[in-house]
Structures are given as C-alpha cells and as structure tokens.
Structure 1
C-alpha cells in the first residue's frame, strides 16, 4: 500500500489524521519547510526516512522502534502522528506508552498533555502502567501535584478504578519526596472516592514514613491499625522497617524485643535484611560485640550472611578500631564463597590508611587487581591520602602521574588531596610541579589552596614561580583574592619587574 507519494511527502505535516484516530495537531505542523538552495541537497529528517519507501506499511512494533530510537522528542512526536495517517492504523496502549515516556523523559510537558487529551477520545484499551510510569517521571522532576494528576487520570482514560498498586505507587512517591500533606490528603481521598481499604503494602509505606521521621510511636500505631484491619497484617517488611527505625533511634533493647516478638509470637522468619538492621544498629552504637553475636545467631538459624551483612560488621569493627577483627571478617566472607566488592575493599583500605598502615592497604589494592575487582577513584583517593599522612609525597606524585596512563580515572579531588598536603607541609617545589601537572590535565585547584600557594611562593622569594603559575591559573578563570594580589604586586614591583605586573593587570581586567 502506498502510504505517502513523493509529491505529497512535504504535505504530511498538515495532513489530517485518518478517521480511525482522533484529530490531533502536532506542534511541528507550524514549522516552515525550507526551500532547496542551489545544488545543496535537502536535509532529510528522521520522519521522512521512515516514510520514504513506497508501499511500506508501518506496523505498531516498527512505530515503537522508530520512536524509541529517535533522540529528538519533536521528531518522535511527528513519527507518532504520521503513522496514524495510514489507512487502518490505530494507536494502541504500547505506542501511546512509548511516546508519553519519550516526552516525559525530555520534559516536553505541553506536548505530553496534548497526547493525554487525545487518549480521552480513543477507543483502544489502555492500562494503568502508563500512568504509573508518568508518576515516576513527574516525581523525579519534583512535580508532585502532577503525580496526583496522573493518578486521577487513570479512571477517565483507562476506564477502570485505580488498583491498590497504583495507590501504593503514588503514596510511596509522595512519602519519599517528603510531601506529607499531599500524601495524607491523597490517602483520605482514595478511601472516600474509591472505597478502597489500605492493604499491607500501603500501610508499610506509612510505617516507613514515620520511621524516617523518627516518630516510632506513630509507626507502632499504624501496626496496631493493621492488626485490626481485615485486608492487611504486619509482615516481615513491616517488622524490619520498625526494627531499623528503633536501631536508628538508639533503642537497641526495644529492637531486640520486637525481633523476638516477630519470631516467637507471629512465626515470621527474619531474612538477611532484618538481621542487617540489627547489625547496623549495634555497630552504630559502638557495640560491635553485640553485632558479632547477632551474626552468629543468624548463621545458627540457617540464614546465610550476605555481602551487606559482612560489610556492615566490617565497617563497625573498623570504626571501633578493631582492624584485625575486620580483616578476619573479610577472610570469613571469602571463605563463605562471597566475592568482596569495591565498597568492601575500600572500607577496609580507608581505615588502614587512617591508622597509618598504608602498606597493608596497598597490598589489599594488589589483591583487588588479582581478583579482578576494579578499584575506583574513591579507593585511589583514600590511598593518596594515606601516603600524604605518612609524608610519602614522592610515591603519591608518582601514583598521580602513572595512573591515567594505566587507564585509571582520577578526579580533581585526587590532585587536591596531594596538593593540599604539600602546601600544608611547605613542600613548595613539589607543589609547583603538581600544580603544573594539574593545569596540563585540565584540573584547577581549590581557590583557597591556589591563594595560599601563591603567597607561600612569594614569601619564600620564588616570585618568578608565583607569576608563572598565576598566569596559568588566570587563563582558567582564577582571580586572586585582594590580599594575595597585594603581596604579588608588591614583590613584583620591588624586583622592578613592571612588565609582568602590567601583563597581569591586563589579564585580570580583560
């Protein structure tokens, strides 16, 4: 079937939609079509490419793929509109879903609203999943009123009551965004308008909200209401959330009591997440011996610790200054067949460096490489800090110079850690060397460090070095503060080097 003839191709943007779909005006229809100039070939849009082949019917699956691949949301919308001009084509839930996702992703809200309006006239069956996706987009963009709008659009467009999943999704997004008033009004309106009683999932969202606020008593109140309800009952998530809230509030005895009640009275079997809440709580309270006992109890009762349990215990032992015990936990983790990740290794490396055991930390770094566990910039920054604390500046500088050629990404913090230490210890020559390397690689030091280094160079009689570095810094937008500027100009003038002073003034006033 001929979808579009060559003669009418440029008229597609103003061609009405077929009778199978409701009239919808694309925002692109007002764009002017530019005429060809000389021998310059006309620019081919993505939309025209889709419709260049004769007798090629664009099915729903192809339309979805074209829209998904199109980076420009306006072109994607144009494709969406033009495929509906085909005889016998009618958009369905999937094609509407992909164009709405694309427009929401690109924050094209006016066009999105026009598509939503068009959906109210369609006869195809829509599913509420489209609106759950839009709720998440609007929540991410901090448009919380629009999250509610998407929920209330379900009934008129999907033509069925929102499910409990839709209610819990909307409520969870509002609670996570700390929109307490909106969440309360929303929950009351769902009870009134839809006569829906909250299920366990919805109650758990409220429990989580109260625990995050530190209002544990209100979370207990919600649990009591759950027990009275016919459609909900406290489950493992409920208890784990409240136990975590109690631990975060320092109420460890109450947390253990609730844990025992959950197991003995309600026969709810705890999982690794529940145990982790207790381990974290005891470690946070500097009661690592209690955390170790919980880990032993966990293993005896058939719940195998995961990497997060071991990591929490290790971190607590490190903070408690028990490095040897932390290393034993690492070895136990490996013996259990678990592979430590970058976070686990970096945690232990950090505390080793803080305890001036940088050589041991470097050995762990080598182990990471052997185990094919990739160290990130945080890992290397920790080791750079450790080397500087032990005044091993040559090794730190060598690492900064070598790592990029080894394919390791370094950030500006990597250089600043070493530069700040060099300036603090008065290692001016090494500081100048490092600053030159930073500028060469496109990194600019902190303003305070730059001013401090320039003044230190001047006070040490290294005016030439100070001026040379200042020119490099000024080229990258740095402006010395008034005290630094005063010292520089004063010393330059004393040495009768007026030309550099005038050049500096020209640079700064440009």
Structure 2
C-alpha cells in the first residue's frame, strides 16, 4: 500500500477535530440502531518496506521451463484446440518435463482445454503421476465441472495403466468440489463410495465433510460423523478438526456444544491455536456471552507464552462489548490491546466507532480522531463514513449526513453503494425527492453500483426512488440503475414490478415486456396486475403478437386470465390478420 502523504494525514486530523465538534454540537441524542455494516473480518495492513527490504523482494528471472510453460498456456488460451495448435505445442516443447506440464496446467484458464492438454501430453509420451492427476482433478472441481471431475477420478487407474492408484486425496478433492457447489448429498455419496471400494478416509476427508455439513446446518449428522471418525476408523482429530467443529457449532447457535469441543481438545492431546481461541471468542460474543469470551482470552494468555491474542481477538471482544452497549469495557479492551504492543487496524476503529455512534457517544469519536489521525494511526475509510451517514440519517439529521458525503469528496474517500442508498432512501422518506434525484443521477453517472469495492448493493433500498421516478415519467432513468444492479447480481422482485408498471404508465409496453422476460428468466413469478397491465397496453398499441406471448407466459405462471382477455387478443389478431 502506498504511504499516505503527511499533508493528507494533517488534512484528516483537521477534519477529525472540526467535523466531530460540529457533530457533537448538532447531533441528536436519541439512540439509534445501526445495521451490521462493519461486521466483517478483513483488513489491509500498511506496507512500510524499506528500500533494502524491496531489494530482497525482487523476483528472480523465470527459468526456461517457466517461460516455455507461459508460452504454451498463452497459445492454448488464445486459440481453439486443433491439430494446428497441437503442432505448435510440439514445436515449442519436443520433450515435456514434469515442471513444464504442471506449470502449463496451472496457467490454462479454461478447464476443458486443460483436460485436452492433459490428454495430449499423455498421447505424446508424458507419463502422468499422482501429482498431475490430482492437479487436473482440482482444476475440474474448483471450476465446478463436477461431472467431468467425477468421470476423471474413476478413469485414473485405467489412464495411468495402473501406475497411479486411487487414494483418499483424490476423493477428498471431489468431496470439496461438491461442497463448494452446495451439493451436500453428492459429497456424502462420494464419501460412501470411497468406503465401499476399500479406501479408508483420512482426517482430511473427515475435516472436509464436517465443514460441508456444518456450513449447511447439519449438526446432528456432523456429530454422528465425528463419532464414526473416532470409533469406527480410529482416525485422530487434529487442531483443524476442532476448529471446524467449534466454528460450525457456534455459527449454528450451539455455543455450548462448541465449548464442549474446546474442552475435549486437551483430552485428545490436541493443542488449541490462536484460530481456535478466536473462533470460540467470536462464537461466545455472537451469543451475547462477552464476559465468558473475555475470560477465554485471559485463559489464552495463561496457557502458553507462545500463544497470544492478536488484533482479531481484541477486535472481536470490542465488537462484543459494543453490541452490549458497554462502551467503557470496549475502551478498556482497546487500551489493553495497545498496552500489549498491538496496533489497532481500521476494522478495530470502525467497529468501535459504530458502537460509539449507537451509544451516541460522539465526544469519544472526536477524541479518537484527535488522538490517531495526526500521527497516521487511523485514517477514516468508506466504512467509517458510512457508519456516520447512517447514524445521522437514523437520527433525522439529513443535512449533517450530506455534510459527511461532502467531506468524503473533499478527502478523496470513495463513497460506495451503501453511502448513496442510505442517503437516497432517507431523503425520499423525508419527502426531499429533488435532492434524492440529484444523488441518484450522480450514482448512475459514476456507475458506483458496478464497483466491486465496498458493500454489495441492496436493490430493495432503491425502491423508494424507483417508485418516485416511475410515477413521474422517468422510468428509463430508474431502469438504468436497476440494470447496473442486475450486473452486480442483485435481484428484488418488487423492483421489477415498480419498473414494469412505470413503463405501462408511460406507454412503453415493449420495454415493460423485456423486463417481464428478464424477471421470468430469474425464476421470479410476476403477479396478475403486471400481466393484465401489459396485455391491455399492448393491445391498445396494436401489438397483438406480444400480447399473445404475454398471455402464454401468464398461463405458465399459473394465473387464470379473464375470459374477456382471450376475446380481446383473438379479436385483435383476427383484425390484423395474424390469427393462429
């Protein structure tokens, strides 16, 4: 990460002091509840490498084999597979080494081409081993080509002429592939199949399946599998096993069960690591047992001199105390963290700031900015400002919320979809549609919702402005942002209806029909009002064929049209000489 210039740090410091003074003077003292917009765990650490360190990190020049692999992969990625391509590959590498084959497989972007390359190398005399077979299986599984992966797995012994035997790692790969695709039953079938052909599952097999079961909430099945692992197969659980179990049961609101597994680790002579403790602390905090979580962390300190809480541990506790509105305790945890030589990161500060906003303790926020911004310890980011925007909007202080947006622009902090959606929705709820539309225009022009950085947009939050625009002859403007939201993969059935009915009011029925088709493709079921409005409008416009298609879709949606609807469509088709 680039070092932030001192001028910008000072700018943040001035902003922190002046801006939060204005907040503390003008903000409402009524407590407001904020959604959990900052409850995530990822942070970007500052990289303050010296010039010497950079010299040590200079990448060595690629070897001849690496260059050859890159060239071959580039050819395969850019051209369709053909005899000409095979001829080019042969000329590049008359004799294939293990390194070249493995590196090329890693660099091929299309799974089907990777499999073609794998088969081509074998035809040309390359003897694949268990490593290359495993890599090919992983490529197919990770890209969800699961039927191909399954077929490939059961062809390994035949393809290799018996030199590569089926073992647990191949089955583990396929189990994980099905798990990533959400196909729990298929993962279980692979597990049962490997047992039926005499391949003993390893601890990795059980860990993979336990993780899949617990992510799907199958806690009873997970307990039975764990018992089978110990008693039937005599497989010894490792630290990773217990981490999966503790996290899985905590995330399924079974913290006591998670705590039981934590205690069982010592009986199994398995030492907990920092991930174990962080997982348990997080589960206890989510269950509201923050003091118990704090005691667990204290026990961690006594356990071993080599086992110490990290930034995640302390940040989790701060979040837990903030959720309990126990701000003094959260500040004590922050102090303890700093006293132990740990540097709070952005997530730590943002979590604390959210808690302070919920408690309306704005003076303390000002102190944090005064104490950290000047020395560059904490630079407010988008999440920080989103918290403040939401707090002001919930308190009815829309002018203050808009000032936060202005400061973001001044300080070159990029607003995201959450920033705009909260402001636009609050302005609509307050009846200030003019300013809401201005922000909406800015959102559309900058295509902010298409930015992968920041929060995932929530379509429903834009429905108030969609409703306003569609009732005021501006459906096309609303649809522009709606389609941007669709590109991000976010959907909301009521939004479709708002836009389709807007098109019906504006006599743009073909555009409404196009949205109807998109709605059906995404397995949303339009209601009767949508169908009847479109059919009536299309008939009025003389679009009998489109009206007929709409009627057919209405019947497929299990809606029963009025008898008159059939008559009107038939009459219009006869009139335009387009009868069935």
Q: Same fold (TM over 0.5)?
A: yes
Residue 50 of structure 1 is matched in structure 2 by: 86
Match 1:250 to one of 255, 269, 288: 288
**Contact kept? 1:276, 1:312, Cα under 8 Å:** yes
Q: 1:91 to 1:332 in 2, by over 3 A?
A: farther
Q: 1:46 to 1:290 in 2, by over 3 A?
A: farther
State the alpha-carbon separation in 2 of the partners of residues 201 and 239 from structure 1: 12
Residue 434 of structure 2 is matched in structure 1 by: 394
Alignment RMSD: 4.4
**Are 2:419 and 1:379 equivalent residues in the alignment?**
yes
Is the partner of 1:468 in helix, strand or coil? coil
**Contact kept? 2:463, 2:495, Cα under 8 Å:** yes
Is the partner of 1:97 in helix, strand or coil? helix
Residue 336 of structure 2 is matched in structure 1 by: 297
**Are 2:234 and 1:198 equivalent residues in the alignment?**
no
**Contact kept? 1:92, 1:126, Cα under 8 Å:** no
**Contact kept? 1:64, 1:95, Cα under 8 Å:** yes
**Are 2:387 and 1:347 equivalent residues in the alignment?**
yes
Residue 189 of structure 1 is matched in structure 2 by: 228
**Are 2:321 and 1:282 equivalent residues in the alignment?**
yes
Q: 1:314 to 1:107 in 2, by over 3 A?
A: same
Residue 473 of structure 2 is matched in structure 1 by: 432
Residue 356 of structure 1 is matched in structure 2 by: 396
Residue 143 of structure 1 is matched in structure 2 by: 183
State the alpha-carbon separation in 2 of the partners of residues 382 and 485 from structure 1: 34
Residue 153 of structure 2 is matched in structure 1 by: 116
Aligned pair count reads 440
Higher relative contact order (CA 8 A, sep 6+): 2
**Are 2:132 and 1:83 equivalent residues in the alignment?**
no
Residue 64 of structure 2 is matched in structure 1 by: none
Q: 1:391 to 1:476 in 2, by over 3 A?
A: same
Cα shift at 1:115? 2.6
Q: 1:322 to 1:248 in 2, by over 3 A?
A: same
Cα shift at 1:477? 2.9
State the alpha-carbon separation in 2 of the partners of residues 167 and 132 from structure 1: 9
Cα shift at 1:452? 7.7
Is the partner of 1:338 in helix, strand or coil? coil
- Superposed CA offset, 1:353-393 (max 9, x none): 33333444444434444555433222222232243344432
**Are 2:507 and 1:468 equivalent residues in the alignment?**
yes
Cα shift at 1:240? 3.4
State the alpha-carbon separation in 2 of the partners of residues 389 and 403 from structure 1: 18
Q: 1:504 to 1:359 in 2, by over 3 A?
A: farther
Residue 346 of structure 2 is matched in structure 1 by: 307
Residue 217 of structure 1 is matched in structure 2 by: 256
Q: 1:384 to 1:187 in 2, by over 3 A?
A: same
Cα shift at 1:472? 4.6
Cα shift at 1:420? 3.2
State the alpha-carbon separation in 2 of the partners of residues 265 and 70 from structure 1: 47
- Superposed CA offset, 1:46-90 (max 9, x none): 564033455833444444455455555444323322211223x20
State the alpha-carbon separation in 1 of the partners of residues 259 and 154 from structure 2: 44
Q: Which has the larger radius of gyration?
A: 1
Residue 18 of structure 2 is matched in structure 1 by: none
Q: 1:258 to 1:102 in 2, by over 3 A?
A: closer
Is the partner of 1:84 in helix, strand or coil? helix
**Contact kept? 2:213, 2:222, Cα under 8 Å:** yes
Is the partner of 1:477 in helix, strand or coil? helix
**Are 2:305 and 1:241 equivalent residues in the alignment?**
no
Cα shift at 1:141? 1.6
State the alpha-carbon separation in 2 of the partners of residues 68 and 257 from structure 1: 46
- For structure 1, list consecutive stretches of 5 or more residues without a partner in the other structure: 1-42, 455-464, 493-498
Cα shift at 1:251? 2.9
State the alpha-carbon separation in 2 of the partners of residues 482 and 398 from structure 1: 31
Match 2:137 to one of 60, 81, 100: 100
How do 1:151-170 and structure 2 match up within 5 A?
Answer: 164=203, 167-170=206-209
**Contact kept? 2:497, 2:530, Cα under 8 Å:** no
TM-score, length of structure 2 as denominator length: 0.62
How do 1:322-333 and structure 2 match up within 5 A?
Answer: 322-326=361-365, 328-329=367-368, 332=371
How do 1:474-485 and structure 2 match up within 5 A?
Answer: 474=513, 476-477=515-516, 481-482=528-529
State the alpha-carbon separation in 1 of the partners of residues 409 and 448 from structure 2: 12
- For structure 2, list consecutive stretches of 5 or more residues without a partner in the other structure: 1-78, 451-456, 487-493, 518-525, 550-580
**Contact kept? 1:451, 1:480, Cα under 8 Å:** no
Cα shift at 1:122? 4.3
Q: 1:66 to 1:248 in 2, by over 3 A?
A: closer
Q: 1:173 to 1:95 in 2, by over 3 A?
A: same
Cα shift at 1:451? 8.0
TM-score, length of structure 1 as denominator length: 0.70
Cα shift at 1:165? 5.0
